Structure 1
Amino acid sequence: MFHRVGFALALLATAAVSQGAEPAPLPPEHLANAVQTDSITIPTPGELFAALSKPGKPNWTGQYRAPIPTTYRNRAQIALNLGGLIADGFIAIEAQDSQQVKNIGTDILKLAKALGVSENVLGRGKSINEFAENNEWDALQEELEATQNEVKASMQSNRDQDFIILVSLGGWIRGTQVVSGAVTKDYNQETAKVLRQPALVTFMQKKVNDISPELRDEALVRSVSEQLAEIQKLVTFPNGGIPTAEEVKALHGAVSKLMGEIQTKTDAK
């Protein structure tokens, strides 16, 4: 169901957020009020994506994308794409596609290894394959979440906080691409409300601005930051926070353009 992609989206977006008390229930249209002084409260997946639950099974395989490179040389690009691949993993689980899960799991581990994560992360590849072979979808969901948490913990221990932010951002961009694409194909006002996320985008812009000047000045990171400013406008939505079909389409186009730039391989180190 859509709420699990919502889970991936929210979880990835909060990778660099400080932990606090469990938030009170918050409807999607009030997401803009979720920012606090130095952190952001993200609604639970069920609350945030309840509007996306509907009769019938979404076409999850229609949300697949072509395989992306796993031989990037630039660490910022690796981190952004790692976040996107983790979001892809949740989509494959929803599609209950064991081969796709294994393919994406392999690519996730390749990029994680390129970032120098611990052996604990790499060891999870075997578990992912075993659960996929046996169609153990709930266990796969938990294992992918655990893999994601291991990646963050390993990067934290290596003092790679800046790259944790980029992993989080890459996952949010890919997740928003998928959700906006699904809403575009089957539009209704209630489901579209979930895309109103100005406070969340503002928060992520702040986190990008807080990373080291050297990393922030890299061409790809600079481009992502600039495009986030435009995306922030596209997720604000006037008229009571209910985006029109055209506004959702515009958002989908913007995040798809950005995702395309992120996954395009360059020779930059």
Structure 2
Amino acid sequence: MSASLSRLSRAICIAAAGMLAASSPSLAGPASSESAAIAGTDQTAADFLESVGKHTRARWRLLFRPPPPTPPTDRGRSALILGTLLGDSFLIWQAGDAQQFRNNNQDVLAYCRTLGLGEKLLPRLMTQGNLAEQSGWKDLRQEIVDGHQEAMRLLREQMDEDLALLIDVGVGLRLLEIVSSLITAAPEVNTMLFVGSPELLRELREDFSRISAAKREEPFMQRVRTVIDDSSALWHDVDKTPLTPEQLSKTNDTLKTLMQGMVER
């Protein structure tokens, strides 16, 4: 497992463990797979969202997004968008929506091709689409995780470390947007269930700091850094002082604005 992905998995593990430690008895969630063990193993975005679903009455389909436009010529921005699409894969898996998954996979393939990964990842993406169509959700879960890892590995083999890091940043930002949307839509939910979110933000900051200086200084990447830094400052003490509804709404609005900015020309 790559160093960057390992860090993201560790952050997700802490986030999921924090939700379980802070929770009251579980609410029945919509996820259909068996609950993943939280302690003592690397956790994935699928595990994180499954934990969220077990402690909220998540209506996953309401969090679906319109498809992005054709990939931009800016490869860094394309890598960010690809990361958010991989985050969407985990979201759609939670919803169990085969057609939406296949639609999203078409967008994933288009962005993979922009980064020189299309032909290498096409067989895996076709397998994923077939599993979704056949309702093979248990096997699909691992396929999505493995696809994320393979994309990172291939980019590093191409000596595209920046792009690999930006994919991870995109996944993390999409996860945080999903979580903040769920809390904003259900203010009665105990925000202490999400005490792991600051750890995700710390890992996002670390990943971003490892991107080359030239790439970090690009105008849109400066926007990304500002959102990560501002959200980190807002959430850093959430385990001691829960966020107000206004602060939660601000986080969600900021993340949504950034996501929209990624796909604007």
Counterpart of 2:79 in structure 1: which amino acid? A
Residue 214 (structure 1) aligned with residue 214 (structure 2): yes
Equivalent positions of 1:50-61 (< 5 A) are 50=51, 52-54=53-55, 58-61=58-61
Distance 2:3 2:99 in 1: 27
Alignment partner of 1:248: what SS?
helix
Partner of 1:17: 7
Alignment partner of 2:240: what SS?
helix
Distance 1:257 1:55 in 2: 24
Partner of 1:106: 106
Partner of 1:129: 129
CA change 1:13–1:93 in 2 (3 A) is farther
Cα pair 2:128 2:143 within 8 Å, conserved? yes
Percent identical across equivalent pairs?
22
For residue 196 of structure 1, report the CA deviation from its aligned partner.
5.3
Stretches of structure 2 lacking an aligned partner (at least 5 in a row):
23-39
Distance 1:110 1:85 in 2: 11
Counterpart of 2:18 in structure 1: which amino acid? P
For residue 158 of structure 1, report the CA deviation from its aligned partner.
1.0
Partner of 1:139: 139
- Supply the RMSD in Å over aligned alpha carbons: 3.3
CA change 1:102–1:212 in 2 (3 A) is same
Distance 2:3 2:176 in 1: 11
CA change 1:66–1:42 in 2 (3 A) is farther
Cα pair 1:183 1:192 within 8 Å, conserved? no
Cα pair 2:176 2:197 within 8 Å, conserved? no
Cα pair 1:173 1:255 within 8 Å, conserved? yes
Q: 2:18 aligns with which of 10, 27, 30?
A: 27
Cα pair 1:196 1:235 within 8 Å, conserved? no
For residue 79 of structure 1, report the CA deviation from its aligned partner.
0.4
> Which stretch shows the higher mean deviation, 115-124 or 197-206?
197-206
Number of paired residues? 243
Alignment TM-score, normalising by the size of structure 1: 0.77
Partner of 2:151: 151
Q: Deviations over 1:61-107 (max 9, x none)?
A: 10011111132110011000001001111111111111110011111
CA change 1:63–1:195 in 2 (3 A) is farther
CA change 1:118–1:16 in 2 (3 A) is farther
Partner of 1:172: 172
Stretches of structure 1 lacking an aligned partner (at least 5 in a row):
1-10, 32-40
Distance 1:48 1:138 in 2: 15
Counterpart of 2:179 in structure 1: which amino acid? V
Counterpart of 1:27 in structure 2: which amino acid? G
